[in-house]
Structure 1
Amino acid sequence: MFLGHFGVGFGAKTLQPRVPLGTLFLATQLADLVWPTLLLLGIERVRIVPHFTASNAFDFVHYPFTHGLVSEVVAGLLLGLAYCLLRRNGRGAVLVGLLVPSHWLLDLVVHVPNLSLYPGPSPHFGFGLWNYAAITQVVKFALLGAGLWLYARRTVARNRVGRYGLLGLVAFLVLIHVGNTFSPPPASVGALLSYTAFTASSKLTNANILLNGQFQDDFI
C-alpha cells in the first residue's frame, strides 16, 4: 500500500494546510520507516517466500510493534503530542496522530491475515487483496490519484520549482513502487534491509528537498 499511504498524506493536507506535507508523509509511513530497525534488532521477523502472494514475496511473520493496531495508535498519540508541543497546533496534531494508525487500516485491505491488534496473543487480520495483483495496483494508484487530486485542486505553485517539484516527487514515488513491484525478491533478509533503508532514506531526503522552501504548498 506504498502509494496509497502517500495518497492519504496528500489528501490530508487539505484538512490542515498549516501542517507540512513532509510531516503528513512521516505520519502515514511511520510504521514502515521504523520497521527495518526492529527487523535488524531481531524484534520483528519476515521471511522471503517467492510467490507468497501474487503481489510480493514477503511473509511478515511477526511485526506487532510497528504494524499492530494498538501500537500504531500509541505511536500516533506520541507523534501528535510531539507535533503539538513543537508547533502549537492542536488541530494539526490531531490529524498527525490519526494518520499513524491509518497505515494499519490501509494495510488491512491488501495484506493477508498477518496484521495483529496488539503485541502478544492476538487475532490477525487482512483482506488479502495482495492475492489479486491487478486489483491491488488499481487500488493503490486510485488512492494516490484521489489524494493528488484533492491536493492539486487546493494549491497553486509559487514558481517553476513548485510546478515541477510536485511532478518530480510523484514520479519518484511511482518509480520506487514500480521497482518494488517488478524487481525479483531480495536474496536474503539482509538484502531486504539494505534496500528498505535506502528507499526510506531516499523518500525522506527527496521529500525534504522538494517540500522545504518554494513548493506547491500555497492554499487558494
Structure 2
Amino acid sequence: MFIGHFGIGFGAKAAAPKVSLGTLFLAAQFIDLIWPTLLLLGVETVRIAPSAHSITPLVFEHYPISHSLLGAAGWGVVVGVLYGWLRKDWRGAWLVGALVVSHWLLDAIVHLPDLPLYPGSETFAGMGLWASLPLTLAVELPLFLLGVWLYARSTQAVNAKGKWGFVSLVGFLLLVHAGNLFGEPPPSADAIAWVGQSQWLLVLWAYWVDRHRRTGRL
C-alpha cells in the first residue's frame, strides 16, 4: 500500500488539528521511511521477482524490525512518546503513535502473507489484495480520496502556496502511485532503497503545505 497510508495521514488532521500534516505523514509512513535504510545496511532484505499474479514485483524476504506487528507497535510507542515530549501535546501523541501502527494494519490488507507478527515469527499476515489490481484500487483510492477530502474540509489555505501546494501534493502522490502500479520493475534492491529515501521529501512538502493552511474556516 502507498497512497492509502498518505490518505490516513491527510484524514487524521480532522482528529488532531494541532498536529502538522508533515508529522501525520511521517507517522503514517514511518516504517516505510526507516525500511530503506535497513535495506542499505543489509539488516532487512527484499527481492525483485515480477509476477503475473501480483501487482508488485517485490518479494519481502526479511523485514522484522520495520514490518513486524511487534516492531510497528514498538515504533509507534517511540514516535508517539517523542512527539508528546517535544510538543507537550499528549492527545496528539496518541494519534501519532496509532498512525505508526496503522501502517502495518493497512499493509496486512494488501500484502501477500509476508508480514511477521514479531522478529523470528513463523506466522505471517497478509490478505493478499495485491494479487488483484481492481481490488487494490478499490481499497486504496477511496481511502486516499476520503483522507484528502477530510483534510480539505478541516483546513483552509491562507495564500496561494497553501492552495496550490496542497493540490500539487495530491496530484504528485497520485502520479507516483500510478507509476508504482504500471511502471517497470526497479533494477535492484539498492535502487528501491534510494528511491524510498526520497519519501522524506514528501514529509517536508507536507510540513510546508500545512504552514500555509489553517484549521477551520477563515
The bucket for the TM-score relative to the shorter chain is: over 0.9
CA distance in 2, matches of 1:89, 1:187: 43
CA distance in 2, matches of 1:208, 1:23: 7
Q: CA deviation at 1:100?
A: 0.4
* Aligned match of 1:160: 160
* Aligned match of 2:216: 219
Q: Is the 8 A contact 1:45 1:62 kept in 2?
A: yes
* Aligned match of 1:11: 11
Where does 1:34-183 land on structure 2 (aligned, <5 Å)? 34-51=34-51, 53-183=53-183
| Structure of higher RCO (CA pairs closer than 8 Å, 6+ residues apart) | 2
CA distance in 1, matches of 2:124, 2:157: 44
TM-score (norm 2): 0.94
TM-score (norm 1): 0.93
Q: CA deviation at 1:204?
A: 2.6
Q: Is the 8 A contact 2:20 2:207 kept in 1?
A: no
SS of structure 2 residue aligned to 1:61: strand
CA distance in 2, matches of 1:205, 1:84: 20
Q: Is the 8 A contact 1:47 1:60 kept in 2?
A: yes
What do residues 83-117 of structure 1 show as CA deviations (whole Å, max 9, x unaligned)?
11111011000100111010011001100000111
Give the CA RMSD over aligned residues. Answer: 1.4
Look up the equivalent residue of 2:205 and give its one-letter code: N
CA distance in 2, matches of 1:20, 1:70: 26
Q: CA deviation at 1:52?
A: 6.4
What do residues 16-35 of structure 1 show as CA deviations (whole Å, max 9, x unaligned)?
10011110110000010000
Q: Gapped runs of 5+ residues in structure 2? A: none
| Paired residues, number | 217
CA distance in 2, matches of 1:132, 1:79: 33
CA distance in 2, matches of 1:202, 1:178: 18
Q: CA deviation at 1:210?
A: 2.5
* Aligned match of 1:210: 209
Q: Which runs of 4+ in 1 moved over 3 A?
A: none
Look up the equivalent residue of 1:32 and give its one-letter code: D
Q: CA deviation at 1:194?
A: 2.5
Q: CA deviation at 1:80?
A: 0.7
